[in-house]
Amino acid sequence: MNADHNSEQRSRHKQLDRALTRHQGAPDALVEVLHTAQQQFGYLSKETLSYIAAQMQLPPSHVYGVASYYPFFRLTPPPEREVTICAGTACYVNGSSRLEKEIRAHCCATKDPNDTPAADIGTARCLGACGNGPIVRVNNDVLLRANVDDVNAALAQQEEDAS
Amino acid sequence: MTIEELYGIGEEFRNKLGTFRAEIQVCGGGGCLAAGADDLLKNFDSACRQHGLENKVRVVATGCMGLCGAGPLVRVTLNDVMYTRVTPDDVAGIVEDYSRKLKRYKERLLPGDFAFYGKQSPVVLEHMGHIDPWSIEDYIAHSGYEALAKSVTYHNPESVILEIRNSGLRGRGGGGYPTGLKWDIVRRGPAGNKYIVCNADEGDPGSFMDRAMLQGNPHSILEGMAIAGYAVGAQQGYIYVRGEYTRAIECMRHAIEEAERMRLLGNRIFESGFNFHVDLRVGAGAFVCGEETALLRSIEGLRGQPRPRPPFPSQSGLWGKPTVVNNVETIVNVAPIVLRGARWFSGVGTKGSTGTKVIALTGRVNNTGLVEVPMGTTLRTIVEDIGGGIVNDGICKAVQSGGPSGGCIPAKHLDVSYDFDSLSSVGSMMGSGGLVVMDDTTCMVDMACYFMDFCRSESCGKCIPCRVGTVQMHRLLDKIRRGSARESDIETLEELCVMIKDTSLCGLGQSSPNPVISILHYFRKEVEQHVFEHSCPAGVCSFEDADPASIAPPTSSEDISHA
Ligand SMILES: Cc1cc2nc3c(=O)[nH]c(=O)nc-3n(C[C@H](O)[C@H](O)[C@H](O)COP(=O)(O)O)c2cc1C
Ligand code: SF4
Ligand code: FES
Ligand code: FES
């Protein structure tokens, strides 16, 4: 298990190193390299950012500044389970903000307040299925014309599939 | 590759298609994929095999077919019939119908005279939804790369630019700047490196035309960019795609590789002296990066913040070199203009807005999706005929065009024509082509607040009017929503609109008051009902802060100075 994990980490590092070599000396490649790193590790940790800065011979503050400027880059690990409500205009006029309130009230939270919620709830700018709003993404499942019951059902289904 | 070889490849592929009796096309666009198109594809494949049809029927995933709200869509080319909301349960029936030449499966059949398609005239979207976006041969078989071949072989760069100028093509990304003029400036710029940048950042939330084209007909973008490169003397192009568009990025990467393999990109294209390379740059999710100067900085690996213009990118762009920045749709218009001529193009649309426009039609209409109409089509045709009217037999209240930079047009202006100038004359703009239809469940104050919230969170913070002004405007609009606003707040809002418009650095700030201005103008009564009566006709606002204090004497310093 641990060995597996280590070799996986190593191969991820290799991917990152490859991207760094490919873009050697090209200062415009920073955003590209960050994309690769995030793809490999799921997010950009402090260590990853310092590593990139050292390899690209850029000031760490510059690398951090660029990474934190763009919303697409995650500086913290992604949550294990995620419910994303589309907040784009097309979904908004089809009631996405009311749906968001309902989801926050009725989904994902467990009864025990000390318990961690069952999923992180967030919004996105547009989930790309604008003709079918409101759209909600539950991890990798995209729900069209979604309501609270759909979200709960998807969460339950995924739980079942995982176990 | 020579032009003859290109024709040969097209011919060969058409012959191959000719060996099939029919195609079953499954929409692989974003909306239909989310609705389960991937599974359908597999189901059709195995159903055809079961009926022994694998050599008679070609099952293929295409790009977006347009009617995204009724997905997944399936087309059978034999009788050119389309099915909507297809489920795996329908597959057997559809294939059986075809194989036994029955016409029994009416379940999901779209009526042949469905107005959604009848009122459109696709140019940009002509082949999308019909061809396989992952096959360069399919594109070539539909006259793909012919315009590039002809440009490079028979025309000099000046005459290509002249053709684009004469066509009257204007930028589809929001500004509406004449494309030929922009190219001409870059062509005349100092010799040396020049660049073509395709803006595929698509920031307007609720618009998806660029995404659809990237993953529905990627080669049409590459061909347009190469023609632009030839015309202005650039050897390098970049496509700047939104990071969230994973599938579009994959599809585009594949298309670039295929085009390089066939030497339609690279050195000595069509055995000429023209070299052109395209690289993909993946954006990272800031709306302002769609603004051209911010976008260029982002390609250079910096924080994507705008800078003052002039100099314009056409004078000093990527690494200080003359650079064409064009929207995806602008670029896709190029090849048809080269093939069919400027006169044909300028004959479509209106005098000031030639050609067609792709619209992402969404909101409270029955038919939502991607639509392409001649410029000058009325909003009413788009909403009532193509859109099929309002859901639940409701009444149209307003349409919003141009996203967070545009305005809300009230239903009384539905006879306005959809073109650059007419939309501005009613206080909105075309933007990139988003059109959101609203009915009486939409509260205009809430919408204004929504757009301002968007601009507030997307403001890059570089200049104060936008950074601070959008926050203040949002706070005031939210007060109206919550029932704690006073009459003076409306005045303050109006003052802020003017200030932000006049003093912001880039288009994001300058146009951010537009939705609010249009709502204060056309829906003043509704705003005042919120402020004075704490009532929301749409039943959206809850007035949670409404209390007698909100009509009590002013307390804050700015209000005292008014008194
Ligand atoms: C805040 C802001 C966002 C923009 N977003 C986009 C966009 O997503 N796509 C686009 O093509 N143009 C966008 N533009 C317009 C571009 O700055 C530029 O005018 C356009 O890409 C030029 O191409 P065109 O002449 O073909 O329209 C945006 C402008 C502003 C001010
Ligand atoms: S107007 Fe707004 S987005 Fe544009 S530069 Fe100023 S702060 Fe940034
Ligand atoms: S607006 Fe919600 S998916 Fe695009
Ligand atoms: S995504 Fe299938 S019709 Fe648009």
Distance A129 CA to ligand 4 centre (A): 9
Helical residues (DSSP H) of B119-170, grouped into ranges: 136-141, 146-154, 157-167
Residues A70-127 have pLDDT tens digits of 888 999 998 888 899 999 999 999 999 999 999 988 876 555 554 445 688 999 888 8
Please give the residue range of the domain that contains residue A110: 82-158
- Whether A148 is in a domain gets the answer yes
User: Percentage of chain B with pLDDT > 90?
Assistant: 87
- Whether A13 is in a domain gets the answer yes
Chain B hits for A30, CB-CB cut-off 8 Å, are 301
End position of a domain, from candidates A69, A92, A110:
A69
CATH architecture of B444-559: Up-down Bundle (1.20)
H/E segment holding residue B299:
helix B292-299
Q: What is the CA radius of gyration of chain B?
A: 25
Q: For residue A86, what is the domain's CATH number? A: 3.40.30.10
Q: CB distance from B392 to chain A under 8 Å?
A: no
- Whether A130 is in a domain gets the answer yes
Residues B19-50 have pLDDT tens digits of 999 999 999 999 999 999 999 999 999 999 99
pLDDT confidence bin for B553, thresholds 50/70/90: very low
Q: How many beta carbons lie within 10 A of that of residue A62, not counting itself?
A: 16
**B residues 315-354 closer than 8 Å to A (CB):** none
Q: Please tell me the predicted confidence (pLDDT) of residue A25.
A: 64
Distance B3 CA to ligand 3 centre (A): 42
Chain-chain contact of B301 with A29 (C-beta, under 8 angstroms): yes
Whether B336 has a pLDDT exceeding 80, the answer reads yes
**CB nearest to A70's CB, from B31, B206, B285:** B285
CATH architecture of B16-114: 3-Layer(aba) Sandwich (3.40)
- Whether A128 is in a domain gets the answer yes
* Dist. CA B308–CA B84, nearest whole Å: 48
Q: For B298, name the nearest residue in chain A, comparing CA atoms only.
A: A31
Q: Running DSSP on this structure, what letter comes out for residue B21?
A: S
- Whether A24 is in a domain gets the answer yes
Residues B454-469 have pLDDT tens digits of 999 999 999 999 999 9
Residues B69-128 have pLDDT tens digits of 998 999 999 888 999 999 999 999 999 888 777 777 777 889 888 889 988 999 999 999
**B residues 54-113 closer than 8 Å to A (CB):** 68-69, 71
Q: Which residues contact B135 (CB under 8 A, 6 or more apart)?
A: none
Chain A hits for B245, CB-CB cut-off 8 Å, are 128
* Dist. CA B317–CA B194, nearest whole Å: 9
> Which strands form B22-27's sheet, in the order they lie side by side?
B57-62, B22-27, B74-76, B81-83
CATH architecture of B356-439: Roll (3.10)
Distance B49 CA to ligand 4 centre (A): 26
CATH architecture of B143-346: 3-Layer(aba) Sandwich (3.40)
Mean of the pLDDT values across residues B387-414? 96
What does the CA dihedral B244, B250, B256, B259 come to, rounded to 10 degrees?
-140
* Dist. CA B370–CA B328, nearest whole Å: 15
Chain B hits for A27, CB-CB cut-off 8 Å, are 300-301
